[in-house]
Amino acid sequence: MNDAKIRDVLNFISDELRELDLGTTYIPRITTPSSIEFLRDYVSPNKPVVITSATAHWPALSLWSNPTHLLSLAGSQPVTVAFTPNGRADAIVSHPNDPTKQYFALPHQQQMPLSSFLTIITNPTSSPTHSSSLVVPYLQQQNSSLTQELPQLLPDIAPHLPWANEAFDAPPDAVNIWIGDQRSVTSFHKDNYENLYAVITGAKTFYLYPPIDMYRMKLRQVEVAQWCPVDDDSSSGGGGSGEMDRGMELKLVPDASGTKVLWSSLEVPPTSPPLREDNKNCFIVTVKAGEVLYLPSMWWHAVAHEKSSSGDGGPVIAVNYWYDMRYDVKYAYFEGISRLAEMAGLSECHPDEPEKGVEEKE
C-alpha cells in the first residue's frame, strides 16, 4: 500500500467526520447547557460550541475593562510576562540572521508587577518604556496562572463552571488568565485537555481543525531557541520595575542541547493547508466578551486577538479552564492515525527526546 492511499484514508475520515457530525465549519452558539446536554452533544462527540450566557453574572465582565479596578485589586502583584519581538511566542520562526534556519521560539520571560505590565500593554505605541525595537508582551503562563499569580482577581469570576464540573466529574485542573493584544498570535497546536475559554474583554478569533487533521498541520521537527535580551544588564536581576523593558532588544538563542520539538508550521490564519485545494474546512469563530468557547480536547487551534470591541484600545483579557481529558477510544484512534501519518511521510516524526521546557498553550 502506498502513501497516497494512506492519505486517501485520512482524507476520507476527515471528510466523513464533517459530513456526519460537524456539519459546515460554522461553530454554533447556545445558551448555558445542562451538564448532560453538554456531555452528550459536545464532549462525547468532541465538538466545539460557543456558550453565550454562562458568564453573564461574572463581575469581571463589567469591571475588568477598567484598569483602575485591576490595579486596585492586584497592582503590585508580580506576574510572569512573555516577550517576543513579533508576538509569536511558542511558534516556528526563521532566525533573523539566517532565514534558512527555523526554530521553535520560546519567549523571554520576565516577572514584573501587574501595574507595569498593564502600563506597557495598554499603551503599546506611546509607552516611553518602548524603544524603536518594540517588544510584544503577553501574559500567557499556563501553570494555572490565575490561581497562582493573580488570586486577587478570583472573586470577579467563578472558580469553575458547574455544568462542566458535573460533565467532567471533577473541578478544573488549571485556571489560566490571558492578557494580550492584537500583536500576539498563538500558533497551531493541540492540548490534551478539555478547554473552556471565557473571553472577558475584547474578542479572540480561534482557527480550529479536528484532531484527525493532524496530517494537514505541517508538523515539523525543529530545534528549540529562546528570545533573550541583548543587554544582559537590563534583563537580569529581580523583577519589579517596568523600566527593565526600556529599549529591550531580543535575540534568538538556539538551545545548546539541540532539543527538538514537533510543532505545526501552518500559517495563522491558514492560507493554504497542505494536501487540500482549499482552506474552506478550517473552523473559524470569534469569541466575544461574555462568551465561552468549548474547545474539545486535541483539537488543533490557533488564536488571534481582535481589536477591543469597545474601541478603547484596552487589552483582550480571557480566562480558561482546563479539565482533564479522558484517554479513551478517541485518543487511541488518534494515536494510531498519527503513527500512520508519520509512517506515510505526512508528518515529521516525534523526536525521541521528550519535549523539554515546552508548555502547552491556550
Summarize as ranges the residues that interact with a copy of itself (CB under 8 A): 1-3, 5-6, 9-10, 12-13, 16-17, 20-21, 35-36, 39-40, 43-47, 166-169, 210-212, 326-333, 335-337, 339-340, 343-344
Which residue's CB is nearer to a copy of itself, number 7 or number 305? 7
The answer to whether the CB of 332 falls within 8 A of the CB of 246 is: no
The answer to whether the CB of 273 falls within 8 A of the CB of 282 is: yes
Distance CA 195, CA 188 (A): 15
Which residue's CB is nearer to a copy of itself, number 178 or number 209? 209
Q: How far is the CB of 82 from a copy of itself (least distance, A)?
A: 33
Strands (E), 42-146: 49-51, 78-84, 91-95, 98-106, 108-113, 136-138
Q: How far is the CB of 36 from a copy of itself (least distance, A)?
A: 5
Which residue's CB is nearer to a copy of itself, number 185 or number 346? 346
Q: How far is the CB of 133 from a copy of itself (least distance, A)?
A: 46
Q: How far is the CB of 349 from a copy of itself (least distance, A)?
A: 14
Distance CA 79, CA 174 (A): 17
Which residue's CB is nearer to a copy of itself, number 330 or number 361? 330
Q: How far is the CB of 48 from a copy of itself (least distance, A)?
A: 12
Vertex 297 angle, CA 294 and 300, to 5°: 90
Which residue's CB is nearer to a copy of itself, number 168 or number 227? 168
C-alpha cell at 337: 492515525
Vertex 76 angle, CA 72 and 82, to 5°: 115
Q: How far is the CB of 11 from a copy of itself (least distance, A)?
A: 9
Which residue's CB is nearer to a copy of itself, number 224 or number 298? 298
3-state class (DSSP) for residue 30: strand
Q: Which residue has the cell 480566562?
A: 319
